[in-house]
A and B are shown apart, each in its own frame.
Chain A
Amino acid sequence: MHLRTLLAIARKDTLDMLFNKASLTVLLMPIFLAVLFVGIQALLGSTPTKVLIYNPGRSGIEQLVKQSFSNVQMIYVNTPQDVASAFGPNNARKDSLYALGLVIPADFEQRLVANQHPQLQVYINGNQVNRQQSALLQGAIADYTRQIANPQPPATIDVATINPPAANADTQNLAQAYSLTVLLCSFFVGMSLVPGMLIEEKEKKTLRMLMVTPASFADVVGGKLLVGLVYQLILSIVVMAIKGGFSGQIPIVLLFTVLGTLFSISVGLLAGSIFQTSSAVGAFSGLATFIYILPVFVVGVFSQLIGNNPFTNVIKVLPTYYLADGIANALAGQAGWGNTLLDGGIVLGCIVVIFLLAVTLLRRQASVAAII
């Protein structure tokens, strides 16, 4: 393999890709999808978060709440009863305009310093605030109180939730599901890019021309792999950035992004070694879309909806399930050593097997590349 010829082929393929409007549209599709999802999210999330607050002492908690939610609208009341009557008791079912209610004692911070364990009453409307947001808010309040006074716990936080979401129906965290879906869709692009480039060389008979130049068949394949790998990585990172996917456990998200890229490139290489026409690769890519899409429904928030059933078990056969599971866990901040190693190990093993299989098939083709 010669670096000069490999880079020359990669350079040519990049230019050819840019001049091909049809394939460029497909290649940029995940970015369009990411932007679309961001737009939908912005539209859905544009309603203000109304907070009913009793805060006679102008406590810093108010500021903390403003920072924790987007587009916060504070409505001040004169008595704690006004807040209580707007929400009702814990677990009550009630239509309420307000997302949050707060009853903060007048001398909250002073009592914290005096170690008197002041009580903070928080009302949460489950129709507007999901479990994760609720947990994050409670964590932020606890952190705030610890900054003012120690030892722990300096305050008693009493939380009352009205319209609580069902334990297995947490469908509100769609943003996370969107991020996962768009990222997996972006991997699909890499899978069709490499075989597309390889087969076009065969179909247009330009591979014959390359075989009488200093380029070897390995250089041709290597050049295409390089383009596919770089493009796929950039695409996945851009998509993640647009979707705000760099949240949760970022290094693990990045690890699975790299693994996903390598996986899709390996599958693409295998397809390029098996199929001889663009239409055959197109048909394969169409079917292969499902191996990326299906796992979305059995990991993360959707898994709670679907539960454990035969369909879930079938999906677990796919390597992309472990890819999706790894990403979903990392995005939710729930990736531990055990599940990360399991998911990552299975994906890595599949990459190695698929890559070796593709290389074996391509080595057979190398001897007759000039007459393909």
Chain B
Amino acid sequence: MRKIASDFMIEAHELRRSFGRKEAVKSISFSVRRGEIFGLLGPNGAGKTTTIRMLTGQIEPDGGTARVAGCDVVKEHEQLKQRIGVVFEEQNLYERLSARLNLEFSCWLYGLPRQRVDEVLTLVDLRERARDPVRTFSNGMRQRLVIARALLHRPPMLFLDEPGRGLDPLSARAIRQTIKQLSAEGITILLTTHLMDEADQLCQQVGFIVDGRLVACDTPRNLKLSHGQRRLTVTLQAGQLPAHNECFEDILLDMDDVHDQERLCRLIAQGRIRALHTHEASLEEVFVAVAGVQLV
């Protein structure tokens, strides 16, 4: 396999794509560094899946260029297939076949040895259920299996389209852990989601996509800091009530106000502070502020 020279695993430049009269993606440009988890966030119909389809070579862009894992997505389509793994929004598995047969089929397609099946089944903790038909699997197990399938040929770049959709909290957490583990192993990941908490926990960089345009792109921390308020809510002990029940009082302090800074120091010295809360914006609040639309 050809070595990837660039530090960037994805370099998209002014990508455009229309379906009939509908412009699904309008001139999107962004880049993703090697080993990074990049989140493409946006409401349904914003153009996330179309962007992934262009980057994975499933559809050709109407305009612009993109290189993924060192391959031009249009001109080097066949090489690209060997370097990417894709987890689709739909859990598109062969339901009647067992988990093992689903993975073995992918091994036949890529010309891989069968031992690789056991390795990925172990990675996603499905070895015990390997012989069971997929139709008997829960949503979470299916999602782990599609991730296992995407990893079979050891791609350096992984695309995950809505990996947490429809999963219960425990399954979603297991998937997030798997994604973090893959990132720690050096795999670059681009994921789309409309779950802001998921993106906040996983991504080193996020891009907000609205109506086919990338309206913001930065680290979650920078985005939150740039749109948050520099204020503190301080919870104080106000006095002692009967039956040893404490009475609390909340006060709001401006971190840029000199008087409030001095007051905070005094309260700390008096030992009356029970809790401190920053007014950092959530990623969802930043999205609403930047995009002007709610996530659906």
- Measured CB to CB, the residues of A under 8 A from B are 4-5, 7-9, 11-12, 15-16, 19-20, 204-206, 208-215, 368, 370-371
The one of A4, A7, A208 that contacts B92, using a Cβ cutoff of 8 Å: A208
Q: Let me know if B94 is at the binding interface, CB within 8 A.
A: yes
Q: Which residues of A contact B81 (CB under 8 A)?
A: 212-214
Cβ of B214 under 8 Å from chain A: no
Q: Is the CB of B90 within 8 A of A370?
A: no
Whole-angstrom distance between the Cβ of B110 and the nearest chain A Cβ: 6
Q: In whole Å, how far is B184's beta carbon from the nearest beta carbon of chain A? A: 24
User: In the assembly, what is the distance between CA of A287 and CA of B131, in Å?
Assistant: 39
In the complex, A204 Cα to B88 Cα: how many Å? Answer: 12
Interface size class, chain B:
20 to 34
B111 interface residue per 8 A CB criterion:
yes
Determine the residue in chain A with the shortest Cβ distance to B135: A19
Q: Judge whether B96 and A16 touch: CB under 8 Å.
A: yes
The 9 closest A-B pairs by CB, nearest first: A8-B108, A370-B58, A19-B96, A205-B92, A205-B90, A12-B105, A212-B86, A206-B92, A213-B109
Indicate which residue in B57, B95, B101, B111 contacts A204 across the interface (CB closer than 8 Å).
Answer: B95
Interface residues as binary, B49-92 with A (CB distance below 8 Å gives 1, 0 otherwise): 00001001111000000000000000000100110101010101
How far does the Cβ of A208 sit from chain B's closest Cβ, in whole Å? 6
Q: B94 and A208: CB pair below 8 A?
A: no
Contact B101 A208 (CB under 8 A): no
Question: How far in angstroms is the closest Cβ of chain A from B103?
Answer: 11
The complex places the Cα of A205 from the Cα of B95 at a distance, in Å, of: 12
List 29 A-B pairs, Cβ < 8 Å. Answer: A7-B108, A8-B105, A11-B108, A12-B94, A12-B105, A15-B97, A15-B101, A16-B96, A16-B97, A19-B133, A20-B96, A204-B92, A204-B95, A206-B93, A206-B94, A208-B58, A208-B88, A208-B90, A209-B92, A209-B149, A211-B58, A212-B57, A213-B81, A213-B110, A214-B78, A214-B81, A368-B59, A370-B53, A371-B58
Pick the residue among B53, B109, B149 that contacts A5 (CB under 8 A).
B109
Quick one: which of A11, A16, A371 contacts B59, CB cutoff 8 A?
A: A371
Known: A16-B96, A209-B92. 17 other contacts (CB 8 A): A4-B108, A9-B109, A12-B108, A19-B133, A20-B96, A208-B58, A208-B92, A209-B86, A211-B58, A212-B57, A212-B58, A212-B81, A212-B86, A213-B106, A215-B109, A371-B58, A371-B59
Q: Which chain A residues border B101 with CB–CB below 8 Å? A: 12, 15
Given contacts A208-B88, A209-B88, A368-B59, contact A214 B95 (CB under 8 A): no
Chain B nearest CB, measured from A15 CB (Å)? 6
CB-CB < 8 A to B95: which residues of A?
204
B20, chain A: closest CB distance, angstroms? 13
Which residue of A19, A205, A214 is within 8 Å of B109 (Cβ)?
A: A214
CB-defined contacts of A8 to chain B, threshold 8 Å:
105, 108-109
Min CB distance A226 to B, Å, is: 14
Residues of A within 8 A of B82 (CB): 214
Min Cβ gap A185→B in Å is: 26
Give complex CA distance A19, B133 in Å: 10
A112 → B minimal CB distance (Å) = 69
Cβ contacts under 8 Å, A208 to chain B? 58, 88, 90, 92
B94: chain A residues at CB < 8 Å are 12, 16, 204, 206
A contact residues around B106 at 8 Å (CB): 213
Q: Nearest Cβ in chain B — how far from A278, in angstroms?
A: 14
CB-contact partner of B110 in A12, A205, A209, A214, under 8 A: A214
Encode contact with A along B175-206: 1 for CB under 8 Å, 0 otherwise: 00000000000000000000000000000000
Q: Which residues of B contact A11 (CB under 8 A)?
A: 105, 108
Assess the A370–B59 pair: CB atoms within 8 A. Answer: yes
Write out the residue numbers on chain A whose beta carbons fall within 8 Å of the beta carbon of B59.
368, 370-371
State the CA gap A185–B140 with chains docked (Å).
44
Q: With the chains together, A289 CA to B149 CA distance in Å?
A: 40
Check B56–A212 contact: CB distance below 8 A: yes
- Structural contact, A19 and B97, CB atoms closer than 8 A: yes
Contacts of A7 in B (CB 8 A): 108
Residues of chain B with a CB closer than 8 A to A204's CB: 92, 94-95
